[in-house]
Structure 1
Amino acid sequence: MSEDGRDGREQRSEVTRSALVAAARSLFVERGYAAVSTGDIARVAAVTRNALYYHFPTKEAVFRAVYEDVEGQLAQRVLPAALAYATSRGQLEAGIEEFLDGCLDPTVARISVLQAPAALGFAQMREIDNRNYLGALRDGIRSAVEAGELPDLPVETLASMIIGALDEAALLIATADDPAAARRDAGVVARALVDGLFVG
């Protein structure tokens, strides 16, 4: 087969995969993971179920791809916002604020906060998140501790506890009757926590 033929086939394959992920994302947001079948996804993507299974062996694999997509887009918001600041404190504050803003997105709320724990489990979620913004958060905290900007505390424990607080804030926002009010409250508390860390 010619190089052009292979390239065309790979391009069509990628178009099909992207259509499946987009269809699944829409369906999971609208109906929830448990209520969506692989047949539903294939039908909305306008492909056969065989085409779906060529790319994704299970519904969980489709969800993982959707989660990676959603978290990658969130990271594309959080990391530039944080890196716009020169200081560790500014980076942490800006990153937290952008993360909390991102949690107002119904797709983030439905996919990342409400459905992913049951669909993927903690280990897969943490693996994906570490490749996105959580690894950068740990690196930033480590640099701040080494520079004396933060207390000399165990970096992994401190990072994990900050992440835990953000996960809980995301859940509060996602399940609140008034998400905007919950986000404002989360921001107030997050700023107080950062103030406490950087005292002295």
Structure 2
Amino acid sequence: MQVKSARRSNPERTAEMRARLVATARRLFVAHGYAATSTPAIVEAAGVTRGALYHHFEDKQAIFRAVIEAESAAVAAAIEAGDTPQRSARKRLLAGAKAYVLAMQADGRTRLLLIEGPAVLGRDAIRAIEARNGDASLKTGLREAIAEGALPRLPLDALASLLSAMFERAATDVSEGMATADVLKVIERILRGLVSD
């Protein structure tokens, strides 16, 4: 009796190929940077044809954008995973800040999201990606903290933007060797200072 092998559907094969290309491109972008990574190098490292790459991505910038989208979504997922709705809004903000700093320690992530991403895609594109991911979580957390009275009523967009800049700098400092514990201690103190208005 012949056993039928499980056949993957076209959408499954497409998703697998796309994921393979994105993972390979990510590895090369981290190792060599955007400028020094070519599409032929991605094709060779992924073990696919040039046609396969261009079937899924228009050009190198498009695959780079897919890498940035995936990295940003991974950071947002890490923040979400550390969220505990039973805690106060202030404690949830602190937990989210910690989760962000820790998630950004993944190999090459700070360089991809905070240095190369804005340089290659432009600040507007990066802000749009951030708005769909981590910034949305941050704004929700701040809105809840303000509603609970844990934070003073400040302009939400300005507050989110400035805190986001602080978190990005913290991630950069940690990636450059600053002690994570020191960075988190300062972030916690700054957030607590907002409370004692």
Report the TM-score when normalising by structure 1. Answer: 0.88
CA distance in 1, matches of 2:128, 2:33: 22
Say if 1:84 and 1:77 are closer, same or farther in 2 by CA, change over 3 A. Answer: farther
- C-alpha displacement of 1:94: 0.4
CA distance in 1, matches of 2:134, 2:76: 5
- The C-alpha deviation readout for 1:126-184, integer Å capped at 9, x for no partner, is 1112212211111221122233221111111111110111111122223x2x24x2x23
| Residue of structure 2 aligned with 1:189, choices 170, 183, 186 | 186
Q: Are the counterparts in 2 of residues 82 and 90 from structure 1 also a CA contact under 8 Å?
A: no
Match of 2:129 in 1: 128
**Paired residue type of 2:183:** A
Could you say what secondary structure the match of 1:195 adopts? helix
Match of 1:4 in 2: none
- C-alpha displacement of 1:85: 4.8
Say if 1:106 and 1:84 are closer, same or farther in 2 by CA, change over 3 A. Answer: farther
Match of 1:76 in 2: 77
Q: Are the counterparts in 2 of residues 113 and 170 from structure 1 also a CA contact under 8 Å?
A: no
CA distance in 2, matches of 1:115, 1:97: 23
- The C-alpha deviation readout for 1:2-43, integer Å capped at 9, x for no partner, is xxxxx7333222222111111101111111111001111111
- CA RMSD after TM alignment: 1.7
CA distance in 2, matches of 1:96, 1:85: 17
Match of 1:145 in 2: 146
Q: Give the gaps of 5 or more residues in structure 1.
A: 1-6
CA distance in 2, matches of 1:26, 1:134: 25
Match of 1:60 in 2: 61
CA distance in 1, matches of 2:141, 2:94: 12
**Paired residue type of 1:64:** R
**Size of the alignment, in residue pairs?**
190
Match of 1:111 in 2: 112
Match of 1:3 in 2: none
Could you say what secondary structure the match of 1:82 adopts? coil
- C-alpha displacement of 1:62: 0.3
Report the TM-score when normalising by structure 2. Answer: 0.89
Q: Give the gaps of 5 or more residues in structure 2.
A: 1-7
Match of 1:16 in 2: 17
Match of 1:154 in 2: 155
Task: Kindly indicate which of the two structures has a greater share of residues assigned to helix.
Answer: 1
- The C-alpha deviation readout for 1:36-60, integer Å capped at 9, x for no partner, is 0111111111111111111111111
CA distance in 2, matches of 1:8, 1:143: 43
Match of 1:173 in 2: 174
Could you say what secondary structure the match of 2:67 adopts? helix
- C-alpha displacement of 1:77: 1.1
**Paired residue type of 1:21:** V
Q: Tell me which stretches of 4 or more aligned residues in structure 1 moved more than 4 Å.
A: none
Q: Are the counterparts in 1 of residues 83 and 92 from structure 2 also a CA contact under 8 Å?
A: yes
Structure 1 stretch displaced more, 45-54 or 10-19: 10-19
Could you say what secondary structure the match of 1:106 adopts? coil
The alignment-based identity, stated in percent, is: 35
Q: Are the counterparts in 2 of residues 70 and 107 from structure 1 also a CA contact under 8 Å?
A: no
Q: Are the counterparts in 2 of residues 114 and 171 from structure 1 also a CA contact under 8 Å?
A: no
